Amino acid sequence: MPVKLPVYMDNHATTRVDPRVLDAMLPYFSEKFGNAASRNHEFGWKAEEAVETARGQVARLIHASPREIIFTSGATESINLALKGVVEAHRAKGVVDIITQASEHRAVLDTCKRLEKAGCQVTYLPIDKEGLVDLEDLRRAITPRTLLISIMHANNEIGVIQPIEEIGKIAKEKKVFFHVDAAQSVGKIPVDVEMCGIDLLSISAHKLYGPKGLGALYVRRKDPHVELAALIDGGGHERGLRSGTLNVPAIVGLGKGCELCEKEMVEDSERLSRLRDRLKEAVMTRLHDTFINGSMLHRLPNNLNLSFAGVEGDALLMGINDVAVSSGSACTSLTLEPSHVLRALGVSEELAHSSIRFGLGRFNTEQEVDYVADRVVETVKRLRELSSLFETAKRRH
């Protein structure tokens, strides 16, 4: 069967909405269009029922209670509500400390920077060459003023999975709140907020084959009860933590996405792991000076992040423009900055600029993997040859 172009392998950025998710959402744009807060007629009752069904679907996937799920506009808002909400609710304690890590998503890092300006003390833990935090570093960083630890479950660039169960035990032992950015992990690998001692957990619908613009925040209700200050006021929706008319179709979509992940996660993960390893072998056995960024042992099943020595990542992206992947570089203003995650790993600036993130997903096929591998290999070889010719010409002149 011929491969349909372009090939999409950027599933860490976003995923295609599963057709079954879309089918579940569609009625709530038309015949079931009620406002979930309208509790005096059938249109509102049906919308509210759909919201509560979705709340239960999200809760079951992470082993929580439906009463602990707050719907938001996405993981970024969930992260802001978790971090800023905890700090604001405990402002009476005076200056408080937060601990996070250097390779977090910008949603966490930028929120921490804002909290630093408001007087918080933030510790940014380093990661080792595998991409993992050192648990002893974490223990040493905790002080009597530490209020919150925020460590992501799986990294959005290198896919490395942090030891959140062990981190949760340390947090409980020290009586510190524990927030987890699980945007990349929920639906792909098991997440159990009880077993891992998680107090706050951020979720994104569009990372698990649901719609964009919708997320959720898990907020523990007991042992301990987590108190948050609201960031958005105006109507008292979502138990007063997130006011605003609920996006019922998108909430239904997140719920259905979670339900499908609960049923199919094991099978999906095994298949994606095989596809990922097929891609890795097909590329690395044919290209020298190619390096894996981050641990392969502690890694999402759908992630592969490679650096190609002697090749600019952006040039490679242009050379394989019929394949959707991401470069490890982020273009800001007039400067091209290497990925902060790769630099935190200790990757050189040159190799950081040559990195490509492959994010496989539910709808990728073996044929697509083989096509992508062939395109990458031929393009890297061509770019290296051009670079060699250019260097030779420079030396002659």
Distance (Å, whole) CA 341 – CA 158: 8
The whole-number pLDDT of residue 228 equals 97
Q: Is the pLDDT of residue 266 over 70?
A: yes
Residue 332: count of CB within 10 angstroms of its CB: 8
Nearest Cα residue to 83 out of 120, 124, 58: 120
The whole-number pLDDT of residue 173 equals 98
Distance (Å, whole) CA 280 – CA 230: 45
Distance (Å, whole) CA 376 – CA 65: 45
Nearest Cα residue to 203 out of 189, 194, 216, 220: 216
What's the CATH fold of domain 19-260? Answer: Aspartate Aminotransferase; domain 2 (3.40.640)
Element (H, E) at 201: strand 200-204
Q: Is the pLDDT of residue 274 over 60?
A: yes
Q: Residue 156: exposed, middle, or buried by beta-carbon count in 10 A (0-12, 13-18, 19+)?
A: buried
pLDDT category of residue 396 using cuts at 50, 70 and 90: low
Give the distance, in angstroms, between the CA of residue 152 and the centroid of all CA atoms in the same chain.
8
What amino acid positions are annotated as catalytic residues? 331
Q: Is the pLDDT of residue 235 over 90?
A: no
What dotted CATH number matches 7-13+265-396?
A: 3.90.1150.10
Give the distance, in angstroms, between the CA of residue 282 and the centroid of all CA atoms in the same chain.
26
The whole-number pLDDT of residue 93 equals 79
Beta pairing partners, 305? 357
The whole-number pLDDT of residue 306 equals 98
User: Do 7-13+265-396 and 19-260 come out as alike in CATH topology?
Assistant: no
Each residue's pLDDT tens digit, 105-151: 999 999 999 999 999 999 999 999 999 999 999 999 999 999 999 99
**Residue 304: strand, helix, or coil:** strand
Q: Name every residue whose Cβ is closer than 8 Å to that of residue 145 and which is 6 or more positions away in sequence.
A: 93, 95, 96, 97, 121
Do 147 and 176 meet the contact criterion of CB atoms below 8 Å apart?
yes
Tell me the residue type at 153: H
Calculate mean pLDDT across residues 306-318: 95
The whole-number pLDDT of residue 255 equals 98
Each residue's pLDDT tens digit, 337-360: 889 999 999 999 999 999 999 999
Q: Give counts: helices (H), strands (E), the chain.
A: 11, 15
Average pLDDT score, the chain:
95
Give the predicted TM-score (pTM) of the model. Answer: 0.95
The whole-number pLDDT of residue 117 equals 95
Beta pairing partners, 217? 70, 202
Query: Which residue did the predictor score with more confidence, 397 or 140?
Result: 140
Every domain of the chain and the residues it spans: 7-13+265-396, 19-260
